Amino acid sequence: MGIILDWALVYKDMGLCPIPLSRRDDPTDASGNKRPLIAGWQNTPMPDDATLERWFHDDRRNIGIVCGRASGNLIVLDFDDMGAYIDWLEAADPPSTYTVNTGGRGVHCYYRLTRTAQLPGNHRLTGGDLRGQGGQVVAPPSVHLSSRVYDVRDPAPIAAVDLDALKLPYQLRQIDLPREWRAQLALGDSVAIVNALAGAQEGDRNNLLLWCACRLFDQGMPLAQVELTLLDTALRIGLGRREIRATIRNAQIQSREARPPLAPHQLLAARLERRGSAAR
């Protein structure tokens, strides 16, 4: 019995669905040693021991984990940027969970969702990706094309969580809004922005709150007014007060970083305006 097969059997015992990936010593494979070697892997059921022995008889194969329902509602946060990973840890304070150091010098954080209805597909995150239904990740002890080995960073059990509780740093993306709101949004209508937030679907509430808050900050609205504008609606769609405030402050940071820095004369004008407002 080889080491790769041993790991595959361990993953099965963890309730994770392992699949074989392309051989690590094949320099002609442009997939970066991440190509699944079975057809229809996205919908594969949990393999039995005999199937695993057939798949992993060759220790030169890499091993992948199928995300989603096959692995018990598994999602994996795949951070390529360690700075983004640390920022997310500080902002979200997530529960400890099984975590892997990747061959690309990133991390994979494994979570199981407590509600199947929340199970997402694959999404871009700031500094990485969310792997959900229809996704897979490379797992230890696979070898990266750089010859670095995937290894376990934190052997903690896989934590069961609510998706919204992870406060995922979704990358802002174009959101499909009702046609009647689009013209109002183009004019910076805060009522239309609030209406957009009120229509948030479960599993995307934080992302839509972040998007709406960024739109308001882009209009020059101050923090206190953004919170006042969005708080009641965000509470009605089921978000908690601390979560709402953290998301809005994240939006303020993103909006500020997206703007070009002010020129010295603009900074001076802004300072004089604030001084005049304080004197009134």
Give per-residue pLDDT as tens, 219-241. Answer: 778 888 888 889 889 998 888 88
b/e 154-184 (16+ beta carbons within 10 angstroms → b): eeeebbebebbbbbbbbebeeeebeeebeeb
pLDDT number for residue 268: 52
Angle subtended by helix axes 205-218 and 223-236, to nearest 10 = 150
Longest C-alpha distance within the chain, in Å?
81
pLDDT number for residue 192: 73
Q: Are residues 16 and 120 in the same domain?
A: yes
259 vs 252: CA distance, rounded Å: 11
pLDDT number for residue 138: 95
Distance set, CA 154 to CA 107, 138, 246, 276 (Å): 10, 16, 26, 54
Q: Are residues 147 and 203 in the same domain?
A: no
pLDDT mean across residues, the chain = 81
Q: Which domain holds residue 189?
A: 179-258
* pLDDT tier at 160, thresholds 50, 70, 90: very high
Higher pLDDT residue, 170 or 149?
Answer: 149
Predicted TM-score (pTM) above 0.75? no
Q: Among 118, 141, 166, which residue terminates a domain?
A: 166
Q: Are residues 12 and 60 in the same domain?
A: yes
Q: Pick the range with the lowest mean pLDDT from 1-5, 230-234, 237-241, 268-272.
A: 268-272
Q: Are residues 32 and 92 in the same domain?
A: yes
* pLDDT tier at 148, thresholds 50, 70, 90: confident
Give the single-character DSSP code of 145. T
Q: Decide if pLDDT at 168 tops 90.
A: no
Q: Are residues 130 and 240 in the same domain?
A: no
User: Does 269 reside within a domain?
Assistant: no
Higher pLDDT residue, 66 or 147?
Answer: 66
pLDDT number for residue 261: 45
User: Does 235 reside within a domain?
Assistant: yes
> pLDDT digits over 85-128, tens only?
988 998 899 999 999 999 888 999 999 999 876 788 888 888 89
Q: Decide if pLDDT at 64 tops 50.
A: yes
User: Does 276 reside within a domain?
Assistant: no
* pLDDT tier at 3, thresholds 50, 70, 90: confident
User: Does 268 reside within a domain?
Assistant: no
- Over residues 244-271, the mean pLDDT reads 62
User: Does 151 reside within a domain?
Assistant: yes
Q: Are residues 97 and 120 in the same domain?
A: yes
Query: Are the C-beta atoms of residues 209 and 244 closer than 8 Å to each other?
Result: yes
pLDDT number for residue 109: 97
Q: Can you tell me whether residue 213 is helix, strand or coil?
A: helix
Q: Are residues 122 and 50 in the same domain?
A: yes
Q: Pick the range with the lowest mean pLDDT from 132-136, 162-166, 254-258.
A: 254-258
**How many domains does the chain divide into?**
2
CATH assignment of the domain containing 17: 3.30.2250
pLDDT number for residue 152: 92
Higher pLDDT residue, 271 or 255?
Answer: 255
Q: Decide if pLDDT at 187 tops 50.
A: no
User: Does 275 reside within a domain?
Assistant: no
